[in-house]
Structure 1
């Protein structure tokens, strides 16, 4: 049981950070697209 808890504690923050980074790259791409149109 402890191993499963440890894996969850390791994976959940990683998933949160990964999803946050993905959102940031999406917004960065939007900014880049806007700059290229000008």
Structure 2
């Protein structure tokens, strides 16, 4: 995991391009922000 995706293969977990879902999770309860923001 974490290796660059070779050409012709689907993006594997841990690839270079970060996914918006991870960003949303960071903004959730794990973001350390005000407790009142749903982590949905």
With the shorter chain as reference, the TM-score category is 0.3 to 0.5
TM-score, normalization by structure 2: 0.34
The structure that is helix-richer by fraction is 1
TM-score by length of 1: 0.35
